[in-house]
């Protein structure tokens, strides 16, 4: 008898960026940061070695939520705030799919806040990209859940915003997301590196992307986007490396007791050994870093947390298998007629 030959899995097709570009006209305002994010995603997708037919992009409502139209993949343009719920259903129905959620600070953190929290805490294998421009763009400029305290907004806060803004990274950490990161629309290499890491993660992944709305909230993140100052105003998080920043790479962040503080290397004998060393597995450190930023500290960008735990899909399959082993396949008709029934004539 001849030995059985294992089937050879066909190699994933070779793609280019063009293969992920749809034939739809892109309808964002000229200069919108969404273009840069779309470009970054479309450049990364061909490098992942995954069949294009396995990608699904799900969105809610808002400027960012037009994203699925521009990706030549499967997609759903759902209703306001409900993209994580729809995406959860897609992933549970077919765990082999690569499910991405595209949302905004309004869609994802206002009406969709609960859906976002529960998708993250359940560790559904979703890659969630939240575009944060600190404004409602599609509905013409009302303040959003991330708009800065005190900001004067002629559309909805003419005397200044009095709501405390949400910190998306802190929220994702509290919800126990297993991958959490932040990037900026105009940092293409950094953004693409983050997208690659997101794609490789198994579990709930959340990425906050600072994105400019040049029509209704222009220069919202000017301290991170102006070449003259951005090296002094952001610190890149790299696993196992000290928190160093500055144009001359001469500043860092250390802990003074439980409080972080900015120090200058070389002053008072301070060296790199005195600085905080980033650890993607340390959720407590990630939370501390999520609380610092402009104007007292540089704003952290990069990966705050990356850990691996069983996903909702894994636990669901295991629970179903366990129930079948104990109780058999089950009978739907028997279940439906197992209690009190009546006929309507």
Phi then psi for 92, rounded to 5 degrees?
A: -70, -35
Taking each helix axis as running N to C, give the angle between helix 83-93 and helix 113-121, from 0 to 180 degrees, rounded to the nearest 10.
30
Tell whether 114 is covered by a domain.
yes
Q: What is the pLDDT of residues 308-333, one digit of tens each?
A: 999 999 999 999 999 999 999 888 88
User: Please, what's the largest Cα pairwise distance for the chain?
Assistant: 89
Low-confidence ranges of the chain (pLDDT < 50): 1-2
How many C-alpha atoms does 332 have within 13 Å on its Cβ side? 0
CATH of the domain at 44: 3.40.50.970
Domain count, the chain: 1
Full domain range(s) for residue 161:
17-231
Token couple for 172 = 């994702």
pLDDT of residue 11: 61
Report pLDDT for 334. Answer: 86
What are 126-153's pLDDT values in tens digits? 999 999 999 999 888 899 999 999 999 8
In a domain, 143, yes or no: yes
Whether residue 147 lies inside any domain: the answer is yes
The answer to whether residue 209 is domain-embedded is: yes
- Residue 326 is assigned to a structural domain of this protein: no
Is 33 inside a domain boundary? yes
Domain-located, residue 194: yes
What is the rounded CA–CA span in Å between residue 203 and residue 205?
Answer: 6
Amino acid 256: pLDDT: 95
Query: What is the SS3 assignment for 325?
Result: helix
Separation between Cα atoms, residue 238 and residue 324, nearest integer Å: 45
Cα dihedral angle (237, 243, 249, 251), rounded to 10 degrees?
140
- Residue 111, in any domain of the structure: yes
């Amino acid at each position: 008898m001849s030995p059985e030959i294992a089937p050879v899995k066909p190699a994933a097709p070779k793609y280019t960026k063009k293969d992920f570009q749809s034939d739809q006209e892109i309808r964002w305002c000229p200069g919108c940061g969404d273009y840069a994010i779309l470009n970054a995603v479309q450049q990364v997708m061909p490098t992942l070695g995954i069949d294009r037919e396995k990608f699904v992009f799900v969105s809610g409502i808002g400027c960012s939520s037009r994203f699925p139209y521009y990706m030549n993949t499967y997609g759903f343009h759902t209703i306001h705030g409900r993209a994580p719920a729809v995406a959860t259903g897609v992933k549970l129905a077919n765990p082999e799919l690569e499910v991405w959620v595209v949302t905004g600070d309004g869609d994802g953190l206002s009406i969709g806040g609960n859906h976002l929290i529960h998708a993250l805490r359940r560790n559904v294998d979703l890659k969630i990209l939240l575009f944060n421009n600190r404004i409602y763009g599609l509905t013409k400029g009302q303040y959003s859940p991330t708009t800065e305290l005190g900001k004067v907004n002629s559309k909805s806060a003419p005397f200044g915003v009095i709501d405390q803004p949400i910190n998306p990274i802190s929220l994702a950490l509290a919800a126990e997301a297993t991958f959490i990161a932040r990037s900026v629309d105009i940092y293409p290499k950094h953004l693409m590196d983050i997208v690659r890491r997101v794609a490789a993660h198994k579990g709930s992944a959340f990425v906050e992307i600072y994105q400019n709305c040049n029509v209704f909230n222009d220069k919202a993140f000017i301290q991170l986007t102006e070449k003259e100052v951005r090296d002094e105003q952001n610190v890149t998080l790299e696993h196992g490396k000290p928190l160093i920043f500055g144009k001359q790479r001469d500043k860092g962040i250390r802990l003074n007791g439980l409080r972080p503080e900015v120090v200058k290397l070389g002053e008072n004998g301070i060296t790199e050994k005195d600085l905080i060393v980033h650890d993607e597995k340390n959720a407590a450190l990630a939370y501390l870093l999520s609380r610092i930023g402009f104007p007292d500290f540089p704003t952290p960008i990069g990966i705050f947390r990356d850990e691996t735990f069983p996903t909702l899909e894994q636990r669901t399959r295991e629970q179903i298998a366990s129930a079948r082993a104990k109780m058999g396949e089950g009978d739907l008709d028997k279940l439906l007629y197992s209690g009190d029934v009546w006929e309507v004539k």
